Structure 1
């Protein structure tokens, strides 16, 4: 949830964020943040959100995680969570 208005932020699934994922991961690494994205085949078979982004370290005071049904949804949620944590990714 966004802190300012107490409601969920909207994801832009047409932003092409999945195309920039490797650039985002590289940029995070340059900031001292360890980050990864993965897909879980078991969760996919069960119809649950199968994609997970996780990050910790650097300027993040605590680790974070974001899940989604697609790579785009997962990364969109991850970028929102990173922004809420004060780390604005320039992509």
Structure 2
């Protein structure tokens, strides 16, 4: 019997995982904005958090929502309200 060598599985391009959230986070990083999206299993509601700060943002933003999609969309709306032109 052989032991696993803690290698990551190879990505499957046909897996159906959406690339857009990763592209958004990468674009934000290129603009000097630190950003994250997080899931907190210990919270019963609004388990998703999106936070961003730095770069062209005049003040940090944070949004908590029940779904990843809503959380990211609301976070982008908050950044647009600060004048950030997000190409997504």
TM-score of the two chains, using structure 2 as the length reference: 0.76
The residue aligned with 1:27 is: 27
Q: CA RMSD in A?
A: 1.2
Moved beyond 4 Å, runs of 4+? none
- Tell me how far apart the structure 1 counterparts of residues 82 and 20 of structure 2 sit (CA, whole Å): 20
Gaps of 5+ in 2: 1-17
TM-score of the two chains, using structure 1 as the length reference: 0.74
5 Å-filtered alignment, 1:1-91, equals: 19-43=19-43, 46=44, 48-91=45-88
Report the count of equivalent residues: 71
Gaps of 5+ in 1: 1-17
